[in-house]
Amino acid sequence: MTNFAAWLSAAALLLTAAMTLRVSFGWRRIAELKDMPPCSGAEAPAVSVIVSALNEADTIAAALTSLLAIDYPALEIIVIDDRSTDDTPRIIDRIASGQARVKALHIDALPQGWLGKNHALQRGAEVAGGDYLLFTDADAMFAPSAVSRAIAYCDKHRIDHLTLFFNVIAHGGLLRMLILSFAAALLARFAPWKVKASRRHYIGVGGFNLVRREAYFAIGGHAAMPLAVLDDLQLGRMLKAHGFQQAVLFGTDMVAIEWYRDVTALVRGLEKNIYAGFGYQLWQLAIVSLLVIATRIWPWAGLLFTHGATRIVNVGTVCIMLLLYADMLRVRGWPLTALVFTPVVPLVELFIWWRSSLLAWWRGAIFWRGTPYRLKKLRHAQHALDRKLDRASKP
């Protein structure tokens, strides 16, 4: 047992150090959108902002007001009411009736073979007139210069798809640490600082996916991935597989979204997409879970149950974790007191992952926006898309 604990502790230290170096040096290579000067009015191509909303009565008015305040001359806003049962349709119609730039669409029924959000975004893109399509969320808040700066960047660097890491509004130490842990995992997994120069790397963020119109329809749009649960990532993957240029920037001063209001909302909200993130395979979840236990839970336990050099190794691993999170908290402007939740974050994550995945496995379906989607169909569609993109990405 002593030898096993020593080897496990050493492996955890090496893996944690490698991941921390990868994330810490990598994200510093991502530029800030705020540093890009806005484009001039004479150079401005038309932009269509596309927003899908289902029962977003609490946020849609503020989101549309934010979009209407954007200082971009050639902007239209297409907002799709996707089968809402609250006041969302009336709010949308009221705002659209007084604003020529706002176009309202209403969807009453979901066709077979579609996820609701994907269908709504496809419908919005089909009626859009912009040279660029900006897919965003119904609770996103934009700075007035966000679109102008993004278009200027795309024009200067000849980018077909630009995505932003936006400002995630979060209250409470545990929620903030869970979000930072998610961000660190995303950075480690996708290495987004490489997407501009590498055909193998890709990224997509649902709060801000700006796509050149020709590129979007060249890949088939959302109609090419009608059952993709992780539609934002799959959009980026499809564009990259077909050879289009992609980039990611930090836009924390340009776009803000309150992802989830509290930890309970986070747990429930992630029911719909966690299992998809593991390829609808419990064995993938099991492997990642073992890795989390070894690298993020064992070092804390090792502080109590190991001695001598092995304990020192575990102290080193814990210190590296704390330094990474402290750096991320500092950059976000969140208080370092949230670090007290570091030991429990991986436990909460494992609970979220297994709860979401086992619920989907037991039900044989995921529920999104009140609609059940059978796992068999989702898995088949994802495997078909994987094969298609593998063929497309080959030289």
The per-residue pLDDT for 44 is: 87
pLDDT digits (tens, 9 = 90+) for 182-235: 999 999 999 999 999 888 899 999 999 999 999 999 999 999 999 999 999 999
Coil/strand/helix, residue 306: coil
pTM above 0.85, yes or no: yes
The per-residue pLDDT for 204 is: 96
C-alpha to C-alpha distance for 233 and 220, rounded to whole angstroms: 15
Intervals of the chain under pLDDT 70: 1, 42, 395
The per-residue pLDDT for 63 is: 97
Long-range pairs for 265-268 at CB < 8 Å and ≥24 separation? 266/175, 266/178, 266/352, 267/351, 267/352, 267/355
The per-residue pLDDT for 294 is: 96
The per-residue pLDDT for 355 is: 97
The per-residue pLDDT for 395 is: 63
- The answer to whether domain 27-261 has CATH 3.90.550.10 is yes
Helix-then-strand count for the chain, H and E: 15, 10
R_g of the chain computed on alpha carbons: 22
| Domain extents in the chain | 2-26+267-393, 27-261
The per-residue pLDDT for 253 is: 95
The one-character DSSP state at 288 is: H
pLDDT digits (tens, 9 = 90+) for 145-154: 999 999 999 9
C-alpha to C-alpha distance for 27 and 199, rounded to whole angstroms: 19
Q: CA dist 136 to 166, 210, 296, Å?
A: 11, 9, 33
Kindly state the tokens that stand for 134.
């900006």
